[in-house]
Amino acid sequence: MIITIAHHKGGVGKTTVALNVAEELKPDFIIDLDAHDSISIINQMRDDKLDVRTVGSTAKPKDELIKLIKESDNGKLILIDCGGFDSGLTRIAIAASDLLITPASDHVTEMIGLTRFQKTLDELSEKTGDKIIAHVLLYKMHSKRTDFSAMLEFINKRENLTALNSPVSHLAAFDQAMNNGSLGVTKHKSTKYGKAARQIKALTEEIKSLLEHQKLHG
Protein backbone atom coordinates (compact mmCIF):
# COMPACT_ATOMS: atom_id res chain seq x y z
CA MET A 1 0.00 0.00 0.00
CA ILE A 2 1.16 3.51 -0.79
CA ILE A 3 0.39 6.62 1.26
CA THR A 4 1.30 9.85 -0.48
CA ILE A 5 1.41 13.17 1.35
CA ALA A 6 1.18 15.90 -1.26
CA HIS A 7 0.13 19.49 -1.85
CA HIS A 8 1.43 21.97 -4.42
CA LYS A 9 1.69 24.63 -1.69
CA GLY A 10 4.84 24.72 0.42
CA GLY A 11 4.92 25.22 4.17
CA VAL A 12 1.71 23.35 4.92
CA GLY A 13 3.43 20.75 7.10
CA LYS A 14 3.77 17.74 4.80
CA THR A 15 7.14 16.61 6.19
CA THR A 16 6.07 17.05 9.82
CA VAL A 17 2.96 15.00 9.13
CA ALA A 18 5.02 12.37 7.30
CA LEU A 19 7.46 12.01 10.20
CA ASN A 20 4.76 11.77 12.85
CA VAL A 21 2.65 9.34 10.86
CA ALA A 22 5.72 7.21 10.14
CA GLU A 23 6.44 6.86 13.85
CA GLU A 24 3.10 5.12 14.32
CA LEU A 25 2.52 3.32 11.01
CA LYS A 26 6.11 2.10 10.68
CA PRO A 27 6.20 1.95 6.86
CA ASP A 28 8.74 -0.37 5.24
CA PHE A 29 10.35 2.74 3.80
CA ILE A 30 9.76 6.42 3.04
CA ILE A 31 10.37 8.03 -0.34
CA ASP A 32 11.59 11.62 -0.05
CA LEU A 33 10.49 13.62 -3.11
CA ASP A 34 11.09 17.03 -1.54
CA ALA A 35 13.71 19.03 -3.45
CA HIS A 36 15.10 20.15 -0.07
CA ASP A 37 15.45 16.52 1.14
CA SER A 38 13.74 17.59 4.36
CA ILE A 39 12.82 14.24 5.84
CA SER A 40 16.16 12.77 4.74
CA ILE A 41 18.04 15.48 6.64
CA ILE A 42 15.81 15.07 9.68
CA ASN A 43 16.43 11.33 9.57
CA GLN A 44 20.20 11.83 9.63
CA MET A 45 19.84 13.54 13.01
CA ARG A 46 17.92 10.64 14.56
CA ASP A 47 19.45 7.90 16.67
CA ASP A 48 16.71 5.50 15.57
CA LYS A 49 16.96 5.86 11.80
CA LEU A 50 14.01 5.40 9.46
CA ASP A 51 14.49 3.83 6.04
CA VAL A 52 14.33 6.94 3.83
CA ARG A 53 15.07 6.74 0.13
CA THR A 54 15.61 9.49 -2.42
CA VAL A 55 15.51 9.47 -6.21
CA GLY A 56 16.55 13.03 -7.09
CA SER A 57 20.26 12.26 -7.26
CA THR A 58 19.86 9.21 -9.48
CA ALA A 59 20.50 9.27 -13.24
CA LYS A 60 16.88 8.37 -13.99
CA PRO A 61 14.74 9.57 -11.07
CA LYS A 62 11.45 8.69 -12.77
CA ASP A 63 12.52 5.09 -13.38
CA GLU A 64 13.89 4.79 -9.84
CA LEU A 65 10.64 6.13 -8.35
CA ILE A 66 8.55 3.67 -10.34
CA LYS A 67 10.85 0.85 -9.26
CA LEU A 68 10.41 1.77 -5.59
CA ILE A 69 6.65 2.17 -5.95
CA LYS A 70 6.36 -1.32 -7.44
CA GLU A 71 7.66 -2.75 -4.17
CA SER A 72 4.17 -2.15 -2.79
CA ASP A 73 3.10 -5.10 -4.96
CA ASN A 74 5.08 -7.28 -2.56
CA GLY A 75 2.98 -6.18 0.39
CA LYS A 76 5.22 -3.34 1.51
CA LEU A 77 3.81 -0.19 3.08
CA ILE A 78 5.37 2.88 1.46
CA LEU A 79 5.06 6.49 2.61
CA ILE A 80 5.87 9.22 0.09
CA ASP A 81 6.69 12.77 1.23
CA CYS A 82 6.27 15.13 -1.74
CA GLY A 83 7.63 18.64 -2.13
CA GLY A 84 5.47 21.76 -2.23
CA PHE A 85 5.38 22.03 -6.00
CA ASP A 86 3.96 20.37 -9.09
CA SER A 87 6.32 17.98 -10.87
CA GLY A 88 6.31 14.81 -12.92
CA LEU A 89 7.58 12.82 -9.94
CA THR A 90 4.88 14.21 -7.65
CA ARG A 91 2.22 13.33 -10.19
CA ILE A 92 3.51 9.75 -10.42
CA ALA A 93 3.37 9.48 -6.62
CA ILE A 94 -0.17 10.86 -6.51
CA ALA A 95 -1.40 8.58 -9.29
CA ALA A 96 0.15 5.51 -7.62
CA SER A 97 -1.19 6.21 -4.13
CA ASP A 98 -3.75 4.09 -2.35
CA LEU A 99 -4.31 6.99 0.03
CA LEU A 100 -3.54 10.61 -0.78
CA ILE A 101 -3.28 12.96 2.21
CA THR A 102 -3.18 16.74 1.77
CA PRO A 103 -2.52 18.88 4.87
CA ALA A 104 -4.19 22.30 4.87
CA SER A 105 -5.39 24.92 7.33
CA ASP A 106 -8.54 26.98 6.85
CA HIS A 107 -6.68 30.16 5.86
CA VAL A 108 -7.86 31.70 2.59
CA THR A 109 -4.47 31.11 0.94
CA GLU A 110 -4.79 27.42 1.77
CA MET A 111 -8.17 27.29 0.06
CA ILE A 112 -6.66 28.90 -3.03
CA GLY A 113 -3.90 26.30 -2.92
CA LEU A 114 -6.43 23.48 -2.68
CA THR A 115 -8.32 24.87 -5.66
CA ARG A 116 -5.14 24.75 -7.73
CA PHE A 117 -4.29 21.28 -6.44
CA GLN A 118 -7.77 20.15 -7.39
CA LYS A 119 -7.03 20.97 -11.03
CA THR A 120 -4.03 18.64 -10.93
CA LEU A 121 -6.23 15.89 -9.49
CA ASP A 122 -8.73 16.47 -12.31
CA GLU A 123 -5.98 16.14 -14.91
CA LEU A 124 -4.57 12.98 -13.34
CA SER A 125 -8.02 11.45 -12.96
CA GLU A 126 -8.72 12.02 -16.64
CA LYS A 127 -5.32 10.65 -17.65
CA THR A 128 -5.46 7.51 -15.50
CA GLY A 129 -9.16 6.80 -15.85
CA ASP A 130 -9.49 6.58 -12.06
CA LYS A 131 -11.00 9.24 -9.84
CA ILE A 132 -8.20 10.47 -7.59
CA ILE A 133 -9.38 11.89 -4.28
CA ALA A 134 -7.29 13.87 -1.82
CA HIS A 135 -8.08 13.31 1.84
CA VAL A 136 -7.63 16.76 3.33
CA LEU A 137 -6.06 16.81 6.78
CA LEU A 138 -7.14 19.88 8.74
CA TYR A 139 -3.69 20.80 10.01
CA LYS A 140 -2.16 23.63 12.02
CA MET A 141 -5.60 24.53 13.31
CA HIS A 142 -5.91 26.72 16.42
CA SER A 143 -5.70 24.45 19.45
CA LYS A 144 -9.01 25.68 20.85
CA ARG A 145 -10.92 25.50 17.57
CA THR A 146 -13.74 22.98 17.32
CA ASP A 147 -15.83 24.53 14.54
CA PHE A 148 -14.40 23.75 11.11
CA SER A 149 -17.68 24.19 9.25
CA ALA A 150 -16.43 26.80 6.74
CA MET A 151 -13.48 24.65 5.68
CA LEU A 152 -15.60 21.51 5.58
CA GLU A 153 -18.18 23.25 3.42
CA PHE A 154 -15.42 24.31 1.03
CA ILE A 155 -14.08 20.75 0.83
CA ASN A 156 -17.49 19.11 0.47
CA LYS A 157 -18.29 21.20 -2.61
CA ARG A 158 -15.38 19.63 -4.49
CA GLU A 159 -15.74 16.18 -6.03
CA ASN A 160 -12.12 15.14 -5.60
CA LEU A 161 -11.61 16.41 -2.06
CA THR A 162 -12.82 14.83 1.16
CA ALA A 163 -12.00 15.71 4.75
CA LEU A 164 -10.32 13.42 7.23
CA ASN A 165 -12.10 13.22 10.58
CA SER A 166 -8.95 13.71 12.68
CA PRO A 167 -7.80 17.36 12.72
CA VAL A 168 -4.34 18.19 14.04
CA SER A 169 -3.78 21.42 15.95
CA HIS A 170 -0.94 23.92 15.74
CA LEU A 171 0.91 22.88 18.89
CA ALA A 172 4.41 23.60 20.21
CA ALA A 173 4.88 19.90 20.95
CA PHE A 174 5.65 19.17 17.29
CA ASP A 175 8.61 21.56 17.27
CA GLN A 176 9.66 20.37 20.72
CA ALA A 177 9.87 16.74 19.62
CA MET A 178 11.52 17.65 16.32
CA ASN A 179 14.15 19.85 17.98
CA ASN A 180 15.05 17.20 20.54
CA GLY A 181 16.05 14.10 18.64
CA SER A 182 14.11 14.68 15.40
CA LEU A 183 11.28 12.58 16.76
CA GLY A 184 7.54 12.47 16.31
CA VAL A 185 5.36 13.58 19.22
CA THR A 186 4.29 10.02 20.05
CA LYS A 187 7.92 8.99 20.63
CA HIS A 188 9.47 11.90 22.53
CA LYS A 189 9.29 11.43 26.30
CA SER A 190 8.04 14.97 26.95
CA THR A 191 5.26 14.94 24.33
CA LYS A 192 4.07 11.34 24.00
CA TYR A 193 1.25 11.74 26.54
CA GLY A 194 0.05 15.15 25.34
CA LYS A 195 -2.66 16.46 23.05
CA ALA A 196 -0.48 16.41 19.94
CA ALA A 197 0.33 12.72 20.45
CA ARG A 198 -3.34 11.88 20.97
CA GLN A 199 -4.24 13.68 17.76
CA ILE A 200 -1.54 11.86 15.77
CA LYS A 201 -2.68 8.51 17.16
CA ALA A 202 -6.26 9.30 16.17
CA LEU A 203 -5.07 10.28 12.69
CA THR A 204 -3.05 7.10 12.22
CA GLU A 205 -5.97 4.95 13.34
CA GLU A 206 -8.12 6.66 10.74
CA ILE A 207 -5.43 6.07 8.11
CA LYS A 208 -5.27 2.37 9.04
CA SER A 209 -9.04 2.12 8.67
CA LEU A 210 -8.97 3.78 5.25
CA LEU A 211 -6.17 1.50 4.05
CA GLU A 212 -8.07 -1.57 5.26
CA HIS A 213 -11.16 -0.38 3.40
CA GLN A 214 -9.03 0.12 0.29
CA LYS A 215 -7.69 -3.44 0.57
CA LEU A 216 -11.19 -4.88 0.82
CA HIS A 217 -12.96 -2.75 -1.76
CA GLY A 218 -10.22 -1.33 -4.00
Please answer whether residues 35 and 83 qualify as being in contact, where contact means their C-beta atoms are separated by less than 8 angstroms. Answer: yes
Each domain of the chain, given as residue ranges in start order, spans: 2-217
Class of domain 2-217: alpha beta
Rg, Å, the chain Cα set: 16
Q: What tens digit of pLDDT does each residue of 7-54 get?
A: 987 878 899 999 999 999 999 999 999 888 999 999 999 999 999 999
Question: pTM for the full model?
Answer: 0.94
Read off the pLDDT of residues 92-147 as tens digits, 9 standing for 90 and up.
999 999 999 999 988 888 888 899 999 999 999 999 999 999 999 999 887 777 78
Query: Which of left, alpha, beta for 148 (phi over 0: left; psi -120 to 50: alpha)?
Result: alpha
Rounding to the nearest 10 degrees, give the CA dihedral for residues 75, 79, 83, 87. Answer: 10
Which of 145, 151, 84, 142 lies closest to 111 in space, CA to CA? 151
